[in-house]
Structure 1
Amino acid sequence: MESGSVTTPFGRRSMTLGMLASQAAARKIEPGQSADKWKLYRALCEAKPLLGITDRALAVVNALLSFYPKGELSEENGLVVFPSNAQLSLRAHGMAEQTIRRHLAILIEAGLLIRKDSPNGKRYARKEQGGEIREAFGFSLAPLLVRAEEIERLAGEVVAERLLLQRLRERLTLCRRDIAKLIEMALEEGAAGDWDGIHLYFRTVVERLPRSPSAEQVAEALDELELLRDEITNQLEMQVKTKNQGGNAQHSERHIQNSNPQSTIELEPSFEPKQGATVDDGSPGEAEPIVRLLTDEEGGEHLRGRHSAPAANSGLKSFPLGLVLQACPEIAAYGPQGSIGTWRDLMAAAVVVRSMLGVSPSAYEEACEIMGPENAATTMACVLERAGHINSAGGYLRDLTRRAERGEFAIGPMLMALARTNSPMKGKTG
């Protein structure tokens, strides 16, 4: 049994505050506390990254535990083992004695062992006449018993982290496969889009990962690739849908014939257009439109190529372009040639900003259907101005869209507040 007093190292080894703290903690064993030594050892193996010990140090712990006569660590059975270095070497698969001493020092520094040296530095035990151990000198396993719950908790955290990383890596592998095959299919089918640029971005994200990434690094890359996969899928689906609509007008009630083709406005390419590119002809090789506005020659009314906005929001007020540019000057930099002179320019800039802020095409398309294309572009410009205060631009836009659908949202107050903040006017109108 342990005497319970503070013990100092034999010879030239110095005493440290860490050793004193370990000995003080070892005296706090609860009455009747015990732990299965091999179950505890397995938890120790799992928790080694968080405890700062190596596999060689664990081999030494395994050898020490093999000298403990009982299966349960408990104070009643004594907690000191006293094998010689030669015996430890045999139980540690022939590990050199110098190596054993080095790893014993590591375990003591980590607070997992306590050295209990005899007067002459030897390891031995004094026994009673009946053979019971009265006092032993060697290594105390008391810290393992005291820290058993902590070690099991740390082992649980390591296992959970490993499982999380495994699941994230599986999702990343699936996402990478999806993107690679979608790009390959798009190139083989001759789908419109900057597939070389998309593939380059895809490879950049993948190659940025280190050889052994952490869960946080994998999660960050996965978020980017899932967004890219959604963009690619939406772009391809839009092109398929547009081809089906263009092949036969009777296939969809949303297709509206009009004798004035010059009034068609492409509001939302599936992928952001290149700087300075036009978005007005819908010819092969260009991104297909999501929403079209057709002007009736007689009444001058704007009809939607998709579902009409709900009646509750048909009166959502549009504001002058000059006011929008005064309130939201940052949007001008994303317009064609770096400026905005018309509503058409604002809509094209809103598409670029949507992609930059990570707003999905479906969220922006829904905003166009509910608010109207001009108001949706205006809202996107306001979101850009307040981007530093918005955690998720896509979620924020969807919330505004739902409120607009219920008739609970008006652009005016938000626009006027931004106009007062950014006065005098910085944009130019056409």
Structure 2
Amino acid sequence: MESGSVTTPFGRRAMTLGMLASQQIAETIEPGTTRNKWKLFRAICEARPALGVTDRALNVLDALLTFYPDNELSEDRGLIVFPSNAQLSIRAKGMTAATLRRHLAGLVEAGLIVRKDSANGKRYARRDRAGAVSEAFGFSLAPLLARAAEIEALAAQAVADRELMRITRERLTICRRDVAKLISAALDEGAAGDWEKITCIFREIVARLPRAPGIEHLTSVLDDMSLLREEVVNQLEMWTKTQKMHSNESQIERHIQNSKPESTYELEPSFETKQGAKSADRFGQPSGPIASENEISNSAGDAGGGKKLTRRPIGEGGAMKSFPLGMVLQACPDISDYGPGGQITNWRDLMTAAVVVRSMLGVSPSAYEAACAAMGPENAATVIACILERGGHINSAGGYLRDLTRRTEAGEFAIGPMLMSLVRANSSIRRKAG
């Protein structure tokens, strides 16, 4: 397009400021700029929504590009094509004249082509004696070349947005499937939890998706669905660990011959050696008295003579003494906040809360499993409750629990003095508060 030229449309078509702006843009082609016309056309197709053109208009632009003699668009070779409506209709796959004119106007309005009309509105070219085109009237493709960088950027953005949409849809589909199947598995296995409420939340999140969601809708729903999946997984992991603890407990009990029934719990601490007192002293109170050995006589029945079973102190083959749940909660009231529903009503609730607190205190699963194996699940949960109660005085909860586990295996630790110390401490605090 000749520099500084301004052309107005032929006939009844009015001149607009948009046409003037397109002609001005067409004059800003950088010297030496070239583009492959078909690669540029593909970029226009990718950026079609941003450019504001229809797919039928792109068919007309495709037909116009076929009349450009070279594959490379270049200002040096001229950028005006001048096919008649009849020729253009054939290459536009038989598009009618009225439809053709409408889509040509759409391309002009979108700033992709510029009209350069002759005096009588005909499209033609003047050639010199050498046969080269000296002047042409028709449609200028100069805006395509001038806006090539912009079009390519829009195309790249469109591709990126489409890829983001695809990835987000895929992630949402997987996340939605995970939550649905995890809830189904929890219901089938009878896992503890308010699964009816979680199912309602899941359905509410899914219902927020419109029929044709945009990236904003998908991202928002994906964030909420991911949080719900994390919550479901956490609940199932806690339940699984609790079940594993019960399994470990049953395995341990098969190897204990002299375990006392829960109904024979005593309130006094016992089976504590002098070495074990060191562990209790860490809580700021002296250890309890050392109980003597208890002789338990069992009748052998009519089959033979009697047999004596001796309950030995810790460290001599005996089982660790347990204490009533009420005493544990009296000594360690803080653990109740971590139970199901914010309360603890049985040993299972206490062990469930201990798993949560164990993770919060930074105690590794292996350290807790070792404590369960050495002390028993109830006693290990009780120790976790005690550590929580005096957490400000313990630098490393995991290291402290491993030390207590080692002392338990060596028969040097009992829970009684620890609990009694905390009971006395809490009682004095309540008296001062009163």
Structure-2-length-normalised TM-score: 0.63
CA deviation vs aligned residue, 1:8-67 (integer Å, no higher than 9, x gap): 111121111111111111111122211100000000000111111111111111011011
1:305 maps to 384
2:150 maps to 150
Q: 1:314 aligns with which of 377, 393, 403?
A: 393
CA distance in 1, matches of 2:86, 2:206: 51
2:209 maps to 209
Aligned-residue offset at 1:77: 0.9
CA distance in 2, matches of 1:238, 1:43: 53
CA deviation vs aligned residue, 1:131-182 (integer Å, no higher than 9, x gap): 1111111110000000001100110001111111111111111111111111
Q: 2:343 aligns with which of 269, 274, 279?
A: 279
- 3-state SS of 2:64 partner: helix
**Contact 2:238 2:356 (8 Å CA) reproduced:** no
CA distance in 1, matches of 2:29, 2:199: 61
1:409 maps to none
CA distance in 2, matches of 1:187, 1:306: 30
Moved more, 109-118 or 211-220: 211-220
CA distance in 2, matches of 1:76, 1:185: 70
Aligned-residue offset at 1:214: 2.0
**Contact 1:80 1:139 (8 Å CA) reproduced:** yes
CA distance in 2, matches of 1:175, 1:104: 47
Q: Tell me whether 1:197 sits opposite 2:261 in the alignment.
A: no
CA deviation vs aligned residue, 1:314-348 (integer Å, no higher than 9, x gap): 289xxxxxxxxxxxxxxxxxxxxxxxxxxxxxxxx
Q: Tell me whether 1:103 sits opposite 2:108 in the alignment.
A: no
For 1:70-89, what aligned pairs fall within 5 Å after superposition? Answer: 70-89=70-89
CA distance in 2, matches of 1:310, 1:114: 81
CA distance in 2, matches of 1:12, 1:109: 16
CA deviation vs aligned residue, 1:264-286 (integer Å, no higher than 9, x gap): 4443367xx5xxxx633258899
What do you get for the CA RMSD once the two structures are aligned?
3.4
- 3-state SS of 1:115 partner: strand
Aligned-residue offset at 1:4: 4.5
Structure-1-length-normalised TM-score: 0.64
Cα distance change of structure 1 residues 257 and 236 upon mapping to structure 2, 3 Å threshold: farther
For 1:140-289, what aligned pairs fall within 5 Å after superposition? Answer: 140-249=140-249, 258-262=322-326, 263-264=328-329, 265-268=335-338, 273=341, 279-282=343-346, 288-289=352-353
Structure 1 residue runs of 5 or longer lacking an equivalent are 294-301, 317-365, 370-428
CA distance in 1, matches of 2:347, 2:86: 84
1:29 maps to 29
CA distance in 1, matches of 2:351, 2:388: 24
Aligned-residue offset at 1:128: 1.2
**Contact 1:2 1:136 (8 Å CA) reproduced:** no
| Residue identity (%) | 54
CA deviation vs aligned residue, 1:43-99 (integer Å, no higher than 9, x gap): 000011111111111111101101101111111111111112221111111122211
CA distance in 2, matches of 1:230, 1:282: 27
Cα distance change of structure 1 residues 37 and 245 upon mapping to structure 2, 3 Å threshold: same
1:129 maps to 129
Q: Tell me whether 1:117 sits opposite 2:117 in the alignment.
A: yes
Aligned-residue offset at 1:312: 9.2
- 3-state SS of 1:163 partner: helix
CA distance in 2, matches of 1:261, 1:209: 48
Moved more, 38-47 or 278-287: 278-287
2:69 maps to 69
CA distance in 2, matches of 1:104, 1:306: 79
**Contact 1:117 1:138 (8 Å CA) reproduced:** yes
Cα distance change of structure 1 residues 269 and 167 upon mapping to structure 2, 3 Å threshold: farther
Question: 1:267 corresponds to which letter in structure 2?
Answer: D
For 1:329-344, what aligned pairs fall within 5 Å after superposition? Answer: none
CA distance in 1, matches of 2:88, 2:339: 71
Aligned-residue offset at 1:233: 0.7
**Contact 1:267 1:291 (8 Å CA) reproduced:** no
- 3-state SS of 2:136 partner: strand
- 3-state SS of 1:167 partner: helix
Question: 2:176 corresponds to which letter in structure 1?
Answer: R
1:13 maps to 13
**Contact 2:22 2:114 (8 Å CA) reproduced:** yes
**Contact 2:338 2:357 (8 Å CA) reproduced:** no
**Contact 1:202 1:225 (8 Å CA) reproduced:** yes
**Contact 1:114 1:140 (8 Å CA) reproduced:** yes
CA distance in 1, matches of 2:33, 2:136: 20
Cα distance change of structure 1 residues 234 and 269 upon mapping to structure 2, 3 Å threshold: farther
For 1:356-395, what aligned pairs fall within 5 Å after superposition? Answer: none
Question: 2:118 corresponds to which letter in structure 1?
Answer: S
1:414 maps to none
Question: 2:173 corresponds to which letter in structure 1?
Answer: T
**Contact 2:40 2:152 (8 Å CA) reproduced:** yes
Cα distance change of structure 1 residues 84 and 162 upon mapping to structure 2, 3 Å threshold: same
CA distance in 2, matches of 1:249, 1:287: 12
- 3-state SS of 1:134 partner: strand
Aligned residues: 305
